[in-house]
Chains A and B, each alone.
Chain A
């Protein structure tokens, strides 16, 4: 395409792609506009600029409690899924493990099977063993959908790096444990960190699993927002949404700086 002079075909190509980008990003811009518009209902074009919806969001006990809960759960999920996922990725990629393909399919299954079913199944488990709706159940449910991301980003880094570095260290007399801690781990660290960042955002935004596992008065931010939206659509929802959008942007930038988006987003 680069060698040809501009033609209408090329302009159509960019025109279509511009429209698709608009479709993708437009809604996020609309949310930003509505979060600043003073009217307490959906109105367009906006009639002014106000920060009252952000004040309402940050002053609301319900929103703040759920925001805090979502942060704590996401932090626990990051730790748990990074540990489990990085170990599994190493074993799958380096362990010469019989049945590795089956296990890999199992560990990626939470991404392929409907999350709403994972939520339902965990709900049935809690119900059967009569353990109520503890917060750790949310952590476990979110970890199930976060582990595949950590495995993927770690394997992406493992697949790229030269096995001979490890072999050279071994030939030079390093024990397998020393090879692991001094060669393998430093190399895969960016993959684990990127996976951990994904785990954070996956947990922070998780909805279907939380829907089945939250206890009343102990609800995550997306659940509180959903329940709020059933009855009211004022700017507080837009402000809450902006917090989530800005967080997603921060995550994207962080991953890009750490390991590059390209390596981690191969589906």
Chain B
């Protein structure tokens, strides 16, 4: 079950060396990746965090001192807290909806017996996932805008006199975000559900449980780690979305990533953008740690059972 999750793919390798085993020469192959990530991943985040507490660029000016003014500004203006709350709220609704839509499809994907059916279903899930975010956001504009597919169809059938406001608000943003992130949920869940022995559910049914009850009492609880892993992944992706809230939300939705880019592109305040970035980073890191923690606890509970 562990191996079905993103981090689990690696932990399942049991790659921690056993006592007394010497390091293999193959270990040195990790050097290029380590160097690359140190230079272009760890260092940039360090620079970002550092610049957010300095008064200027220490490489260009000598009189740079430490300051908390960027963080004080964030705390003073309720705009930033409000945008954080609205970002998290959109993330939460997106995650929940993606879970509700993703679970049935993941279940089907995990349980379908026909080889061809499985391949086609998998393609149907992955093809949208590999289509760019900008493209999929455009598709939702074409569907939800005033002259889009839904409003034109409703008007054509004489059901509505004026177009419904389906976009330039939170609703449109969330619909498009769910579409973009539901494949991640499906793939995570399908891995976990597929690892659950189907015969457990069959046994419950043979003992007289209805298919629904067999599912609710056997498969659903066993798939809990997948639900958590998928939800965390989708939440982390959804709170960092920029394109979709920008194009679908009109001016009604202001998420943290939008504020961050605004500071860079319009206000040219890189240090303050960095401070907002640190805020989003802290939220994300807390999420990742919580996810690992819950997953580890679940694994322990299964060992005891």
Contacts and interface: CB of A to CB of B under 8 A. Distances in A.
B124 to A, nearest CB: 6
A13 interface: yes
A25 B130 contact: no
Given A91-B29, A96-B27, A152-B9, A128 B57 contact: yes
A64 interface: no
Nearest to B283: A114
A109 B37 CA distance: 10
B284 A114 contact: yes
A211 B22 CA distance: 45
Given A4-B211, A43-B152, A226 B13 contact: no
A82 to B, nearest CB: 11
A126 to B, nearest CB: 9
Interface string B1-28: 0011111011111011110011111111
Interface in A1-52: 1-4, 9, 13, 16-17, 20-21, 23-28, 30-31, 34, 41-45
B41 A110 contact: yes
B166 interface: no
Interface string A128-157: 111000000000110110010000100110
A208 to B, nearest CB: 6
28 contacts: A1-B211, A9-B212, A21-B105, A42-B141, A42-B147, A87-B31, A91-B33, A92-B10, A96-B24, A98-B23, A105-B10, A107-B37, A112-B6, A114-B237, A116-B261, A121-B48, A124-B47, A152-B6, A156-B9, A158-B13, A159-B3, A233-B142, A244-B132, A245-B131, A251-B130, A252-B126, A256-B122, A267-B188
A201 B21 CA distance: 40
B139 A241 contact: yes
Nearest to B15: A100
B142 A238 contact: yes
A212 B263 CA distance: 11
A155 B138 contact: no
Nearest to A261: B122
A207 B33 contact: no
Given A120-B260, A267-B4, A44 B44 contact: no
A20 B105 contact: yes
A221 to B, nearest CB: 8
Contact of B33 (A41, A88, A114, A225): A88
Given A207-B243, A229-B247, A109 B41 contact: yes
Interface stretch (B69-77, B270-278, B297-305): B270-278
Given A98-B17, A229-B138, A147 B179 contact: no
Interface string A206-219: 01100110000000
A114 B236 contact: yes
A205 B9 contact: no
Contacts of A230: 247
A26 B182 CA distance: 14
A240 B119 CA distance: 27
Main secondary structure of the interface of B (DSSP, over half): helix
A217 to B, nearest CB: 16
Interface of B: 3-7, 9-13, 15-18, 21-34, 36-37, 40-45, 47-48, 51, 57, 59-60, 101, 104-105, 108, 111, 113, 118-119, 122-128, 130-143, 145, 147-149, 152-153, 156, 179, 182-184, 187-188, 191, 202, 211-212, 229-230, 233, 236-237, 239-240, 242-243, 247, 257, 260-261, 264, 270, 273-274, 277, 280-281, 284-285, 288
Contacts of A97: 15, 17, 23, 27, 30
A16 B273 CA distance: 43
Given A233-B141, A262-B122, A113 B44 contact: no
B9 A266 contact: yes
A265 B122 contact: yes
Given A96-B22, A107-B37, A205-B132, A266 B261 contact: no
Interface in A89-108: 90-98, 100-101, 103-108
A121 B131 contact: no
Given A103-B30, A106-B37, A262-B118, 17 more contacts: A31-B135, A42-B141, A42-B147, A92-B15, A92-B30, A93-B13, A93-B15, A95-B24, A98-B17, A112-B233, A123-B270, A128-B47, A144-B41, A222-B134, A233-B142, A249-B127, A267-B5
Contact of A87 (B16, B29, B111, B273): B29
A253 B236 CA distance: 28
A211 B15 contact: no
Contacts of B277: 117, 120-121
Contacts of A229: 134, 137-138, 141, 247
